[in-house]
Each structure stands twice: as C-alpha cells, then as structure tokens.
Amino acid sequence: MSRRLAVTGFTGIVEEMLPGGRKMGDNEDRRVSFTQMKDGTRSDYELLQELEEQYIHGTAPRLLDELAKQAEETLTGYKITRLAHALQTATRAENDGADTDWIVSALLHDIGDRLAPANHDKFAAEILRPYVRDECTWTVEHHGSFQKIYYMHHYGGDPEERRKFAGHPYYQTCADFCERWDQASFDPDFPTRDLDHFRPAVEKVFARAPHDPAVICKGEIRGLP
Ligand SMILES: [Fe+2]
Ligand SMILES: [Fe+2]
C-alpha cells in the first residue's frame, strides 16, 4: 500500500496519511463485532489483520516522534538534550562509515529514557530486535552495563559490571560502541546532524520484514567500522 508520511522537524508532530488523504484515525468506523476476543469471527480477525498491517508501517514516524519529544522532556542536567545525544551518537556512527543498522541503532539506543528509565537499554533493544543485526541489538541491550565503567566508581558501585559478559562474541563490539560513540556524545560543540537527516534510515529499517534471518545475521561478528 502506498503511503505518505509527513514528519515535521523537532516539534513532535507526526502525521500519517493514507491514500485519498485519509488519516489513520479514519479507520475508526471499521470495528469488530465482538466484545470478547473469543467471540470474534474470521471477518473480524481479517479486518484486524488489515488494520494492523497499516499500523505497523507507521512505526518509523512514531519512533521519530518519540525522539523529537526527547528534545526537552527527558533527563536534564547534561549539557545537551537527550535528542541531541541520540543525534550525536548516530552522527559519530555515520562519520565512521557505519552501515544503516548501526546508524539507526545508535540513534535509538536511548529511546527508552522517557518511557522505561529503569531499563532503557532493554526497551530500545526490543524495538530494534526484529529489524537490525543481532550484533547491534545485543550492543544496545547491554550498553547500560558497559557504560558503567565510565562513572559507577563515583557512586560506589561496580564499574566492571560488563565482566559478567566476558567471553561473549559481541563483548568487544559493545565496548567499542560505548567508548567511541555513546560515552563521547555529550558535546554541545560537536557538529551534529538533525533528526530529519536520519529519517530515511529509520524508515528504511522499519520497512523491513520483521525477523528476517538475512537481516538478523544471528551470531555474526562484524564489529564497528
Ligand atoms: Fe543509555
Ligand atoms: Fe547513550
């Protein structure tokens, strides 16, 4: 189905248009017959499948909308916003010649900050898992533990929490991601590209068929470029 997506800068306004100028909300007059799932008919579930198919294609603009909200709303105290941190991490990845999987993973690695602050890394990883390489997902999933090496001694905690992953095939990749792209990306003077620049990469990744083994490349170690 052809779709027209409009993302408006950093204002957090994401509008998803369907053919004929209908918005996603225009499907609201099409409803199932049941009030309990177990009473649903085949045609009910065919309708839901069709609508879900439309909805899943809106994942990219919804993610961009969430990132845009992080321009102001999440974790204060740093010299830059959480959106700026995400953009800077993705910019560093792109500057190093990283592929689309890495750039999108870098952009989204902290997207859980606003909605899942106690496990933001796991939250981000579950968003990425069906759509990017296994190595990128694992890195995002565990970056919280690996990042502790940079600051946990100030809190009297264990900066070496990453030790529990010693010997994992992706250990060094995650260590490199944190050292080169994540922990380094809090600089207000770093030339950072804007969210609009990364929009095509996000749309490309989330237009993929989910869980495609050819994309996931389970267990394959490529490291950072
Ligand atoms: Fe993080
Ligand atoms: Fe981060």
Contact 97, 225 (CB under 8 A): yes
3 confidence band (pLDDT: 50, 70, 90): very low
Quick one: residue 78, left, alpha or beta (phi over 0 = left, psi -120 to 50 = alpha)? beta
- Whether residues 113 and 210 share a domain: the answer is yes
Q: What is the pLDDT of residues 37-53, one digit of tens each?
A: 999 999 999 999 999 99
For residue 25, pLDDT over 90 is answered with no
Contact 93, 102 (CB under 8 A): yes
**What per-residue confidence (pLDDT) applies to 6?**
37
76 confidence band (pLDDT: 50, 70, 90): confident
Number of continuous H segments (helices) and E segments (strands) in the chain: 9, 2
Contact 72, 62 (CB under 8 A): no
The neighbourhood of ligand 1, an ion, using CB within 5 A, equals 110
- Calculate what percentage of the chain has a pLDDT beyond 70: 88
Q: pTM score, two decimals?
A: 0.87
- Whether residues 44 and 142 share a domain: the answer is no
Q: What is the pLDDT of residues 163-178, one digit of tens each?
A: 999 999 999 999 999 9
**What per-residue confidence (pLDDT) applies to 23?**
57
**What's the gap in Å between 102 CA and the centre of ligand 2?**
14
- Whether residues 48 and 89 share a domain: the answer is no
- Whether residues 43 and 87 share a domain: the answer is no
Ligand number with the minimum distance to the CA of 112:
1
Higher pLDDT, 10 or 59: 59
Question: Is residue 72, in this structure, part of any structural domain at all?
Answer: no
Please tell me the distance from the alpha carbon of residue 127 to that of residue 140, in angstroms, as a whole number. Answer: 10
**What's the gap in Å between 106 CA and the centre of ligand 2?**
8
- Whether residues 17 and 103 share a domain: the answer is no
Stretch 129-158: mean pLDDT: 98
CA distances, 221 to each of 89, 138, 139, 215 (Å):
21, 11, 11, 13
Residue in the block written with tokens 């879900």? 52
Mean pLDDT of the residues in the chain: 90
Domain residue limits at 12: 4-57
Nearest to 84 by CA among 73, 98, 100: 73
Give Rg (Cα) of the chain.
19
Ligand number with the minimum distance to the CA of 177:
2
Question: Is residue 190, in this structure, part of any structural domain at all?
Answer: yes
**What's the gap in Å between 165 CA and the centre of ligand 2?**
19
- Whether residues 83 and 38 share a domain: the answer is no
**What's the gap in Å between 185 CA and the centre of ligand 2?**
8
β-strands 13-17, 4-8: how paired? antiparallel
Residue in the block written with tokens 């909605």? 115
- Give the 3-state secondary structure of residue 7: strand
